[in-house]
Amino acid sequence: MRKTAFVVLALALVGIVAAAGCISTETQSPAGDWYVPGTDITMTITPEGSVLGQAPQNSFFGSCTIDGDKIVFNIAATLMTDSEEERAFFAALNSVDSFKVENGKLVLMSEGKEVLTFAEALVGTFVTEDGITITFNKDMTFSANGPVNLFSGSYAYTENGIEFTAALSTMAFGSEEDMAAEAAFLAALAEAKTFSVENGKLTLGKLTLTASVVGNWMTVDGITLTLAEDGTFAGQAPVNNYFGEYEVKDGKVTFKNVASTKMMGAEEDMAAEDAFFKALAENTFAEGQFLTAEGITFIRT
């Protein structure tokens, strides 16, 4: 009886070990828009490893090499005035050799010690249940379209979340219902101190909003793209302006009827432009923090 029990226990232990071996250890990607809480430091890492950001005084850019949970940054920066805070930030960034992503945080480490912690930034366009559209930009400004008025302002990241300045507004008048919706939106925005984005939903204080692809995008090579609410798009390629229509369905963005002006430029620019137009017309882009397809990634501007 004891022998049988021992065999059963041994088999159970084997099963546990086998199950443990099936647990995924895949490292979550550091790609995304990030900020250092309590500072003005922001950083974007694209799925291909391009890096763009804003330090206390200077903009920075470059790339990072990622291998599992290992990461190495290769960064350059503008040459405006610096500070002790800025020098400390770049020294920490240059020392990084590994990372982890957990609970909406990007933790950068050097020799096993945490040196920089970023939180997920608020960037993108979102729509309220009342149809008010608000766009959050990388420079921590925002613009919003209500049923009657346009709004704009700025926000700052705090240690625990976010804080908005008083919004500027046009002074048009509409129906009592529309004016009440705008007033409630502005009041909720002013009171908001926390935010979270999950599965395309933004919870901003008392507000709940849905993500939208509408707004301004750009590749790391400088090609711009603006997606309008009416389903049209326009942008600037290396030489020509381009335009057309787009459709969003099941989390995918498809570009249709892509056309452009017919200017001529350097052979290298024209070749890059032709390849871009071909990829834009033939690929379906995944919707999210980035618009991505094979060989092309658009980031929010």
- What is the structure's pLDDT at 18? 36
- What is the structure's pLDDT at 27? 66
Residue 84: partners with Cβ closer than 8 Å, 6 or more residues away: none
Cβ atoms 162, 193 nearer than 8 A: yes
For residue 4, pLDDT beyond 60: no
Which domains are present in the chain? 32-120 (2.40.128.270), 124-212 (2.40.128.270), 215-300 (2.40.128.270)
- What is the structure's pLDDT at 77? 93
Cα distance between residue 268 and residue 187, in whole Å? 52
> CA torsion angle for 160, 132, 141, 96 (degrees, to 10)?
50
Residue 234 binned pLDDT confidence (cut-offs 50, 70, 90): very high
Cβ atoms 202, 283 nearer than 8 A: no
- What is the structure's pLDDT at 43? 95
- What is the structure's pLDDT at 82? 78
Q: Give start and end residues of each alpha helix (H) in 176-266.
A: 176-191
Mean confidence (pLDDT) of the chain: 88
Residue 13 binned pLDDT confidence (cut-offs 50, 70, 90): very low
132: left (phi over 0), alpha (psi -120 to 50) or beta: beta
Residue 301 binned pLDDT confidence (cut-offs 50, 70, 90): confident
- In this predicted model, what pLDDT tens digit does every residue of 115-157 receive, in sequence order? 999 999 999 999 999 899 999 998 899 999 999 999 999 999 9
- What is the structure's pLDDT at 80? 83
Name residue 271's beta-bridge partners: none
Residue 242 binned pLDDT confidence (cut-offs 50, 70, 90): very high
Residue 26 binned pLDDT confidence (cut-offs 50, 70, 90): low
Closest CA to 242 of 261, 262, 270: 261
More confident residue, 109 or 57: 109
- In this predicted model, what pLDDT tens digit does every residue of 178-227 receive, in sequence order? 999 999 999 999 999 999 988 889 999 999 999 999 999 999 889 999 99
Residue 247 Cα to chain centre, angstroms: 21
Token pair listed for 110 = 């050097």
Q: Give start and end residues of each alpha helix (H) in 97-219.
A: 176-191
